[in-house]
Amino acid sequence: MSDEPFGLLPYDGILGLGLLGSSLGKQYNFMGNLAQEKALKSNLFTVWLSNEDDGEDSEITFGEMNQDHIASNIVWQELKRPANGMWEVTIFDVVVAGVQLRQCGKDGMQAVLDTGTAIIAGPSALIQAVLTQLNIQEDCSNFDSLPLLGFTIGDAILNIEPQDYVKKTVKGCFHQFMTMDTPPPVGPVVLLGTLFFRGTTVSTTETIYESALHLPSTSLTTNRAKPLSKPRSG
C-alpha cells in the first residue's frame, strides 16, 4: 500500500459504490457484500450533496434514508443495464421551463449517475438543444430569469435550478455542460454529475440478484422543494 496520491489530497481515499459489473470480483463489491451479509437495515445507500448556503455538510447514509433530505415524492426506476456496473436510468426527455426538447428518442436514453463528475455531459445534439433553449448569457444579465432544467424519469420531471447548472463568478456566468458522443453499444448516454445531485437526493438499493434506483424528484432540501412539473410539447 502507498500513501500516494492521497498524501497530496484533502481526502483519505476513494470508496467505490458501483454495481458488481464494475468490480474486479464479487469480493471487492462493497455494497454487494453488505447486502449478502444482511449487515444493513435496508440494502440501500443515499447520497446528498449540500450547497454552500445549506449550513451543513454533504452526506452519505447506509441502510436508510435521512427524511430531512427528502423534499418530494419518490420515483423508483429499474436499472436496464446493471451488467455495465454503473447506476443508469432511462431519461425520456430533457425539459426546459416545462417544454420538452424531444432529444432522447422514442425509447429514451440511458443516463449514468456519477458522483465523480461535476458536469452534465451528453450527445452533441442534446447538449446544443439545451444550451440554445436556456440561452445563458456570459455577462449574467439573464441569470435571475433562467428556467428550471428538468429530466423526465418515469412519470416525473426531476428539476435542477440555474444555480445548479450555471457557475456564477466575478468573471461571468458559465454553463456546466459538455458534449460527449459515446458510440453504440454503450452510447448514446448522458452523464449526470454532481450538479444534478445538488438538485436531487439520490438513493440506490441493491440485492444480490436485483438492482433498482430511487430518486426523490425535486430539490435537495425541504426549503427548496418544488412541485413536480408536467411536460408540454415544444
The 10 Å CB-count burial string (b at 16+, else e) for 102-126 is: ebbeeeebbbbbbbebebbbbbeeb
Task: Determine the pLDDT at residue 202.
Answer: 52
Condensed to tens digits (0 to 9), the pLDDT of residues 39-73 reads: 888 888 888 887 777 788 888 888 888 888 777 77
Condensed to tens digits (0 to 9), the pLDDT of residues 82-110 reads: 788 888 889 999 999 889 999 999 999 99
Task: Determine the pLDDT at residue 153.
Answer: 86
Condensed to tens digits (0 to 9), the pLDDT of residues 128-175 reads: 999 999 999 999 999 999 999 999 988 888 888 899 999 999 999 999
In the chain, % of residues over pLDDT 90: 34
Condensed to tens digits (0 to 9), the pLDDT of residues 195-227 reads: 888 766 555 544 332 333 443 322 223 224 444
Tell me the CA distances in angstroms from 96 to 91, 129, 190, 218, 221, one per residue in order.
Answer: 14, 10, 16, 15, 22
- Cell numbers of 87, please? 447506476
Tell me how far apart the alpha carbons of residues 113 and 147 are, in angstroms, rounded to a whole number.
22
Task: Determine the pLDDT at residue 190.
Answer: 96
Condensed to tens digits (0 to 9), the pLDDT of residues 130-142 reads: 999 999 999 999 9
* pLDDT for residue 123 is more than 90: yes
Superfamily of domain covering 41-224? Acid Proteases (2.40.70.10)
Q: How many CA atoms lie within 13 A of 125 on its CB side?
A: 10
Which has more confidence, 127 or 83? 127
Task: Determine the pLDDT at residue 13.
Answer: 76
Task: Determine the pLDDT at residue 157.
Answer: 84
